[in-house]
Amino acid sequence: MSQAVVTQNSVSSLTGLVVPLADRTLLLPNVAVAELIPYRAPPAIAGMPGWFLGQVAWRDLRLPLLSFEAASGGQPVVAEGARIAILNALGGRPQVKFIALLVQGIPRSLRVAEDLPRADVPLAPLELAAVKVDDAVLRIPDLEGLEQLLADAGLI
């Protein structure tokens, strides 16, 4: 009987991460984020798209760092307290296990139900949906789309 309760709870809710950006807040599955590291400005690379911020070192790897805001039509912002979220790659490319995303501050954990109410707001490129949690609008990013953006630019 306890197994049925666990199964029922795991289906009806999951743990998400509320990730602050400069101009919006993302909601990611907890398992999408491998690690959060301090921001270190990568060396600039001429001729790259504005959303590509350079390569960052992490665990003996060089990962592409991108700005979600810039990839969605805005400007990259590096504010005080900026961090880098190391994301697990989802695109099925065997050579790409992780990508890096600039975030503003420390993500917080949130238990979310599967039936979150949708927010009726315009979506930017690379946003799949928007949901309401309390009074906040959280945007669900297209993580595979971010990875495809890097692939299309020849960066992975």
What pLDDT digit, counting tens, does each position of 121-132 carry? 999 999 999 999
- Quick: pLDDT tens for 78-121: 999 999 999 999 878 888 899 999 999 999 999 988 788 999 99
Integer angstrom CA distances of residue 60 from 24, 63, 84: 31, 10, 16
Inform me whether the pLDDT recorded for 12 exceeds 90: no
Q: What percentage of residues in the chain have a pLDDT greater than 90?
A: 71
The residue behind tokens 């805005």 is 74
pLDDT band (50, 70, 90) for residue 55: very high
Contacts of 76 (CB under 8 A, 6+ apart): 50, 51, 53, 67, 69, 70, 102
